Structure 1
Amino acid sequence: MANNQHNHTPDPQKNIAVAFALNASFTIIEIIGGILTNSVAILSDAVHDLGDTFSLGLAWYTERIARRKPDSRYTYGYKRFPVLAALVNAVFLLGASIFVLSRAIPLILNPEPVHAEGMIWLAILGIIFNGAAVLKLNKGDSINQKVVRLHLLEDTLGWAAVLIGAVVIRFTGLLWLDPLMGVMIALFIIYNALKNLREALRI
């Protein structure tokens, strides 16, 4: 009976690993799709998802390493590794988002043609992939899973916004909406990265 219960207990490492695989696969599709559609909004979301893929990979690793007992090298154990992971991720996201802003802001005044239909299909895929990852992590209750689940839920909502924007561009031809969405996504990433950086530095 005890073994049976043990087998049904959600494994944080496994849940995070599955979410990582889903996110990493879609991030590659996203980067290629962003280039092919010439969409700054898609590329901004690619940066966001790349950051989340990085977070998932580090969360999986730190979930493993935090279980280790103190040894001669780390006398206080490995529980501070997640803090280091958060710092590295925040710095990466800040740099990538500033790069996106440098590309997106000039395009608001001088927008370039985008492939709106391609944006629509990518946004639908984004909702499916991120939604599946959220559902997978919904089964667990470790702190790592809760934090990553929140990020992926934000991604899903972000893709819903991109979908609406892409449909508007498709039927109105308002090309400046694409770089504007890119700027908004980048600013959202910067806000969260700075917040995470402050929290990590306090610990």
Structure 2
Amino acid sequence: MAHHHHHAHSHSHGHSHQTENISTAFWLNLSFTIIELIGGFFTNSVAILSDALHDLGDSLSLGLAWYFQKKAGKGSDQVYTYGYGRFSLVGALINSIVLIVGSIYMLSEAIPRILNPEASNASGMLLLALLGIAVNGAAVLKLKKGDSLNERAVMLHLMEDVLGWVAVLVGSIIMYFTQWYIIDPILSIGITIYVLYNVYGNLKSVFRVILQGTPEDKNINKLKELLIQLKGVAAIHDLHLWTVDGQNNIMSLHVKLDPAADRIKVKEEIRHEMHHEGIQHVTIELELDDEDCGMKAPC
């Protein structure tokens, strides 16, 4: 490791930290899911069971995120020349599918209970809810420092869990005093809809990366304006911008030069400007005015 330059060192250090964060959250979540499944069964609460299923989804997502985050830390090789960054997206994708399937199942359990509610053990639910808030709260704090799409997705999950448990806590208190057992399936449906809503948002981000959309936080017109103002640049075309994994951004572009332009200086300037804009990898094709760029479309 000592032979690497500083950048590589800090990058891999960041990855091991991410992986460690995710693994801690994974073990917390998995052990809690088991407690929850047993608890939901004994308290006869679909709200707790739907949260258990949601948590099972989280555990799976954390496990996959943990595995793929490790993979994503690998550098480039002959097969994946951009490195393994996109592997973390595969985790997010698999997990989204699991949560969708689980949510459909939970809705099929909860909806009939609205029509004929069953008694739930409110005091048991209350204890589980307090435990749930504590465990998931701890995991959220652990992951709050992360910045990868993967960690963000996982943190969102855990944040939902905390909110889900707050809802169960309130619901169990009301049920304890009023015996309105219909609250339980209503909570279950609420939790499930919330999960599906977040899955939708997450899938949108994942597909944008997979389909090589422009990174969500970048404005391509603004970048073009910046580039065109640089000294020696006559025109810009065939500009592409995409991201490997939601963090590492890549750009390629063709630049027509002014006749008197210093080629090396122009390249340096472009790279410098784009680094400032959060684009790590820039490939530049320089052309003179009378040069044909070799693209089929008009330059």
Is the Cα contact below 8 Å between 2:143 and 2:155 reproduced in 1?
yes
1:154 corresponds in structure 2 to 160
- In the TM superposition, 1:32-111 aligns within 5 A as 32-111=38-117
CA distance in structure 2 between the partners assigned to 1:103 and 1:63 by the alignment: 34
Distance 1:193 1:16 in 2: 19
The letter of the residue matching 1:89 is N
Report the CA distance shift for 1:142/1:194 in structure 2 as closer, same or farther (over 3 A): closer
One-letter identity of the residue aligned with 1:84: V
Q: Kindly, what percent of the aligned residue pairs are identical? A: 53
1:164 equivalent among 164, 170, 180: 170
Task: Quote the offset at 1:71 in angstroms.
Answer: 2.1
| In 2: Cα distance, 1:165 partner to 1:199 partner | 33
Query: What is the deviation of 1:201?
Result: 2.0
Displacement of 1:77 in angstroms is 2.0
1:90 deviates by: 0.8
What SS is found at the alignment partner of 2:114? Answer: helix
Q: Secondary structure at the match of 2:154?
A: helix
1:181 aligns with 2:187: yes
**2:110 maps to amino acid:** A
1: distance between equivalents of 2:120 and 2:156? 30
Supply the distance in 1 between the matched residues of 2:157 and 2:204 (Cα, whole angstroms): 17
> 1:90/1:141 Cα in 2 relative to 1: closer, same or farther (>3 Å)?
closer
Q: Which has the higher contact order (CA 8 A, sep 6+)?
A: 1
Q: Any unmatched runs of 5+ in structure 2?
A: 1-9, 210-299
- Alignment RMSD, CA only? 1.9
Unmatched runs of 5 consecutive residues or more in structure 1: 1-5
Candidates 37, 44, 67, aligned match of 1:31:
37
More strand per residue: 1 or 2?
2
Give the superposition deviation at 1:18: 0.9
Question: Which amino acid in the other structure matches residue 163 of structure 1?
Answer: L
State which drifts further: 147-156 or 182-191: 147-156
SS at match of 1:118: helix
* Matched length: 196
Name which one, 1 or 2, has greater alpha-carbon Rg.
2
2:147 is aligned to 142
CA contact (8 A) 2:68 2:90 kept: no
Residue in 1 aligned with 2:131? 125
**Which residue in the other structure is 1:20 paired with?**
26
- Separation in structure 2 between the aligned mates of residue 146 and residue 201 of structure 1, nearest angstrom: 16
